[in-house]
Structure 1
Amino acid sequence: MKIAAISAVLLVTSFGQAFAWGQEGHSIIAEIAQRRLSATALTEVERILGGQVSMASVASWADDVRYGTHPETYNWHFVDIPLADNSYDPTAQCAADPKGDCAIAEIDRAEHEITCAADPVQRRDSLRYLIHIVGDIHQPFHTVADGVGENTLKVVVKFGGLIKSPPKVPDDDLHAVWDSTLIKQTNYAWGSYVDRLEGDWLLKHPAASQTLDPVAWTLEAHKLAEDMAQGIGNGATLDEAYYDKALPVVDEQLGRAGLRLAAVLNRWLGSAPACPLP
């Protein structure tokens, strides 16, 4: 059993961060964004993706390919900043690597490629990456280097959340709790979670943040990770008090990500692109 446990840790460490937000979280963000696209941007999104394809339906594609056909994109899903640090150093935290650089660099690339790439396949893939990775960078523990994004920090989930019944598998890690458990313990279906945000957080915060800078998003999320990891040691129990503290942060980050994704797409696809001359 000890050998198996060590192997599991080595496996996580060798492959870096696990998924950010589960399928539910990415679908929530994509749906929020799509509802806020301008008519021009929505037409462009549909043209790039190929017909009546919803953004939510492609929101997890980037996770599907990072382990298979595109391992060179693996590091695009996170930014490894130590919890004790509050600054971003691109030389150390976004360096070129066979598995890619980091989320910040890919967002910058994808923004330009969705309008300026000559190859329609590259434009489509860049849009799918952008939809996904804007979401990734708002998951607080995808901005954390410690414990491989706290994938190795084991916790016991005791909260039932709004569902009231605790998860059937209470043993988890802190990263996975933030990927999916908090969302699943709030609403059974991601569409219902969108409706909940539309009637609450999004109603109270109708505009995106003034900044559309992914570095600022990263540092904002990193500060939240510091707060939500404070006092959590290996084997800690996450109770209803933790859920009550975490849920407003989850709502805020899903809402922010959706609003910001919409703002980015409206900026880049809502008017004629300004591409560099060949």
Structure 2
Amino acid sequence: MRRWIVALVMTTAWSPAYAWGPEGHAIVAEIAQRRLSATALAEVKRILGGEVSMASVASWADDVRYAQHPESYNWHFVDIPLADDKYDPVSECAANSGGDCAVAEIDRAEHEITCAAEPGTRRDSLRYLIHIVGDLHQPFHTVADNTGENTLTVTVKFGGLIKSPPKVPADNLHAVWDSTIIKQTTYAWGSYVDRLEGDWLLKHPEASQTLDPTAWALEAHTLAQEMARRPGRRITA
């Protein structure tokens, strides 16, 4: 099962508590599913139950995060101070009533998919894995400062693929990565998948070379550092 997990790192660029909105998570999952071998895809469908796409379950972990599974709240991020370049699991992934962190949950879910006795546990673990690998690649889900930069206000100027007058929405930096860029760039998440498949992913084959969640977290954290250090409050996308 480790071999198909790597596909989930092929990511793109609502509320402050979420990483990617539903569109972003669907994009990540669809790109991943397209890269599964026939054997891995059959296993994914067997665990999920029939002809269930990864994109269709990609936001399930957000749906159950509050009322049903509050113990999973912290699984969606890892709080590394913006000034730090290293991940300290003792201080940044300590277990509490809200769970530990995304890095630990990815390792745990991977194990449960293979080893859990109950089919329902394997299914839920796969749904968590699909979602949280995506979460870990949202740069500001690796940042402790300002609640993942939810309080850092920015103005984003758009004049891109959508043929309409340029829009200048005010937002926070976290939310810009969650949904604003996606929604202001294409009309539908499927179109965003096609855009990535035809351009960015062709130019970055190295994006799927590691299976280490800590390495994913630190790579995303580096990107968050670069974005947060940009002067001013205006980002042109």
- TM-score normalised by length of structure 2: 0.88
- Larger radius of gyration, structure 1 or 2? 1
**Match 1:237 to one of 221, 234, 237:** 234
Distance change in 2, residues 1:119/1:221 (3 Å): same
How far residue 189 of structure 1 moved from its aligned partner, in angstroms, is: 0.6
How far residue 228 of structure 1 moved from its aligned partner, in angstroms, is: 0.8
How far residue 184 of structure 1 moved from its aligned partner, in angstroms, is: 1.4
Q: Secondary structure at the match of 1:66?
A: coil
Q: What is the match of residue 137 of structure 2? A: 138
Q: What is the match of residue 6 of structure 2? A: none
Asked if 1 retains the 8 angstrom alpha-carbon contact of 2:48 and 2:123, the reply is yes
Cα RMSD of the aligned pairs, angstroms, is: 1.7
Q: What is the match of residue 41 of structure 1? A: 40
Q: What is the match of residue 250 of structure 1? A: none
Q: Hey, what's the Cα distance between the residues in 2 that align with 1:185 and 1:64?
A: 24
How do 1:111-190 residues align onto structure 2 when only pairs under 5 Å count?
Answer: 111-163=110-162, 165-167=165-167, 170-190=169-189
Q: What is the match of residue 58 of structure 1? A: 57
Asked if 1 retains the 8 angstrom alpha-carbon contact of 2:20 and 2:177, the reply is yes
Q: Hey, what's the Cα distance between the residues in 2 that align with 1:90 and 1:211?
A: 19
Structure 2: any 5+ residue segments left out of the alignment? Answer: 1-14
Aligned length: 222
Q: Hey, what's the Cα distance between the residues in 1 that align with 2:97 and 2:167?
A: 37
Q: What is the match of residue 32 of structure 1? A: 31
Q: Secondary structure at the match of 1:67?
A: coil
Q: Hey, what's the Cα distance between the residues in 2 that align with 1:166 and 1:145?
A: 32
How far residue 37 of structure 1 moved from its aligned partner, in angstroms, is: 0.8
Distance change in 2, residues 1:116/1:199 (3 Å): same
Q: Hey, what's the Cα distance between the residues in 2 that align with 1:194 and 1:156?
A: 25
* Identical aligned residues as a percent: 77
Q: Hey, what's the Cα distance between the residues in 2 that align with 1:162 and 1:68?
A: 38
Q: What is the match of residue 101 of structure 2? A: 102
Moved >6 Å (runs of 4+): none
Asked if 1 retains the 8 angstrom alpha-carbon contact of 2:150 and 2:174, the reply is yes
How far residue 203 of structure 1 moved from its aligned partner, in angstroms, is: 2.1
How do 1:246-265 residues align onto structure 2 when only pairs under 5 Å count?
Answer: none
**CA deviation map 1:18-58 (0-9, x unaligned):** 11111111111100111111111111111111100000000
Asked if 2 retains the 8 angstrom alpha-carbon contact of 1:27 and 1:59, the reply is yes
Structure 1: any 5+ residue segments left out of the alignment? Answer: 1-15, 244-278
One-letter amino acid of the counterpart of residue 181, structure 2: L
Asked if 1 retains the 8 angstrom alpha-carbon contact of 2:154 and 2:170, the reply is yes
Q: Hey, what's the Cα distance between the residues in 2 that align with 1:203 and 1:153?
A: 33
Q: Hey, what's the Cα distance between the residues in 2 that align with 1:115 and 1:161?
A: 43
**CA deviation map 1:196-235 (0-9, x unaligned):** 11111222334553321000000000000000111356xx
One-letter amino acid of the counterpart of residue 137, structure 1: L
Q: What is the match of residue 20 of structure 2? A: 21
Asked if 1 retains the 8 angstrom alpha-carbon contact of 2:16 and 2:175, the reply is no
Q: Secondary structure at the match of 1:185?
A: helix
Which moves more between the two structures, 78-87 or 205-214?
205-214
Asked if 2 retains the 8 angstrom alpha-carbon contact of 1:17 and 1:78, the reply is no
Q: Hey, what's the Cα distance between the residues in 2 that align with 1:160 and 1:43?
A: 41
Q: Hey, what's the Cα distance between the residues in 1 that align with 2:220 and 2:160?
A: 22
Q: Secondary structure at the match of 2:80?
A: coil
Distance change in 2, residues 1:203/1:161 (3 Å): same
One-letter amino acid of the counterpart of residue 156, structure 1: T
Q: What is the match of residue 91 of structure 1? A: 90
How far residue 140 of structure 1 moved from its aligned partner, in angstroms, is: 0.4
Distance change in 2, residues 1:232/1:125 (3 Å): farther
Q: Secondary structure at the match of 2:151?
A: coil
How far residue 187 of structure 1 moved from its aligned partner, in angstroms, is: 1.1
Q: Secondary structure at the match of 2:64?
A: helix
How far residue 146 of structure 1 moved from its aligned partner, in angstroms, is: 0.4
One-letter amino acid of the counterpart of residue 130, structure 1: L
**CA deviation map 1:77-133 (0-9, x unaligned):** 000001110000000000001000000000000111111100111000000000000
